[in-house]
Structure 1
Amino acid sequence: MSSVELPDDNDKSLSSASTSPCPSPKPHRLLPNNLYVVLYNFKARREDELDLKAGYKVTVIDTSDPAWWKGKCFGRVGYFPYNYVTKVQPGERPLQVTHNLQVSDGDSGLTLLRDQIVIQIGEELDGMVVIRNAENKQGICPVKFLQEV
C-alpha cells in the first residue's frame, strides 16, 4: 500500500515550521510516543490489572515484562496483556468498524468485523481511508463503515 500516499496536513505544518525562525507548536496534533489504543476488551482479574474496553486509549509506562505491560487509562494505573493494544503514531486515528465487510488490500482482501478497532493512516480522500488492523495489514475502507472511538 506504499504506493497510495494520502496528504497529511501535519506534514505541511512541519515543513513550513522548519523555515520559520520561531515555529509555533501545535500541541493538539502531538501525541506522546507511548500512546496506544486498546484492540480488545480485557477484564481485570487482579487488583493490579486494568479493566480495558476496545477503543480506550492507554499511556504505556512500563514494558519491561514481555507479556504484561503497565499503563495508565482514565487516571488508573495497572497491568494488561501487551498484545491487547497497538501503538498510535502522530497523524493516525483509532476507529471502530460498524459492519462486517471485506475491503481491498491490493492482494486477496482484508476482512473487517463489526466493532473491530482499526487505525486510520493519513487523511480521507473521496470518502475512503487507508486503515491498518492489529496485524499491521493495510486496506482501503469507505469511511461510512467507520466511527470515531
Structure 2
Amino acid sequence: MRMSSVELPDDNEKSLSSASTSPCPSPKPHRLLPTNLYVVLYNFKSRHPDELDLKAGYKVTVIDTSDQDWWKGKCLGRIGYFPSKYVIKLQPGERPLQVTHNLQVSDGDNGLMLLRDQIVIQVGEELDGMVMIRSGDSRQGVCPLKFLQEV
C-alpha cells in the first residue's frame, strides 16, 4: 500500500510536467498505443531457432525493421525473425478479419477477389451489414460482414 501511494504522486507529477511542456497534450492511453503492431497475412513455419512460427491472423509487435526482407518481432511471448512481406501494419481502430468464402467485392475499379481464409483489415464502421476492408496489397473494397469473421 505504501509503495502505491508513493508511486502515484510520481506518476501524476510526470503527467503534469509532460502536459505542461506539450503544446497539444494527448491522453495517456493514446501515447501508449503501439505504432508497430502488424497482422500476419500468411502462415510461416520457422526453419531456424531464431525465427517465429506465425499463423495468419496473429498480431506481431515489430521490434526491428533494419533488414528489408526479415523483420524481428514479438508474438505470443516469443521473439524472432519472420519475412516482412508476411505482415501488414494495423492502424488504431482497424481490426483483422478472415474471409469465410471465396467472393468478388467492389473496389471501384475491376473488383477485388477475396479467397477463403484470407486475412483482410476492416478499416471502417459497419453500415447496413457492409464494411470497408483493405487487403494485403493495400487494395480496398466493400464487403458483406457475413463473409468475414474475427481472428
The alignment's TM-score, normalised by the length of structure 1, stands at 0.81
Q: 2:70 aligns with which of 68, 71, 78?
A: 68
* SS in structure 2 of the partner of residue 124 of structure 1: coil
Report the number of matched residues: 127
* SS in structure 2 of the partner of residue 144 of structure 1: helix
Greater strand share, 1 or 2? 1
- How far 1:92 sits from its partner (Å)? 0.6
- How far 1:83 sits from its partner (Å)? 0.2
Greater helix share, 1 or 2? 2
The separation in 1 between residues aligned to 2:29 and 2:84, in whole angstroms, is: 30
In structure 2, the partner of 1:132 is: 134
The separation in 1 between residues aligned to 2:26 and 2:50, in whole angstroms, is: 42
In structure 1, the partner of 2:53 is: 51
**Is 1:115 matched up with 2:117?**
yes
Q: How does 1:82-97 map to 2 (within 5 A)?
A: 82-97=84-99
In structure 2, the CA distance between the partners of 1:81 and 1:23, relative to structure 1 (3 Å rule), is closer
In structure 2, the partner of 1:15 is: none
The separation in 2 between residues aligned to 1:25 and 1:99, in whole angstroms, is: 40
Q: 2:63 corresponds to which letter in structure 1?
A: I
Let me know the Cα RMSD of the aligned residues: 1.7
- How far 1:133 sits from its partner (Å)? 0.3
Long gaps (5+) in structure 2: 1-24
Q: 2:132 corresponds to which letter in structure 1?
A: V
- How far 1:118 sits from its partner (Å)? 0.2
- How far 1:48 sits from its partner (Å)? 0.2
Higher relative contact order (CA 8 A, sep 6+): 1
Percentage identity across paired residues of the two chains: 77
8 A contact 1:36–1:87 mirrored in 2: yes
Q: 1:69 corresponds to which letter in structure 2?
A: W
The separation in 1 between residues aligned to 2:145 and 2:26, in whole angstroms, is: 33
The separation in 1 between residues aligned to 2:71 and 2:26, in whole angstroms, is: 36
Largest Rg, 1 or 2:
2
The alignment's TM-score, normalised by the length of structure 2, stands at 0.80
Long gaps (5+) in structure 1: 1-21
- How far 1:122 sits from its partner (Å)? 1.4
In structure 1, the partner of 2:82 is: 80
8 A contact 1:68–1:82 mirrored in 2: yes
In structure 2, the CA distance between the partners of 1:24 and 1:78, relative to structure 1 (3 Å rule), is closer
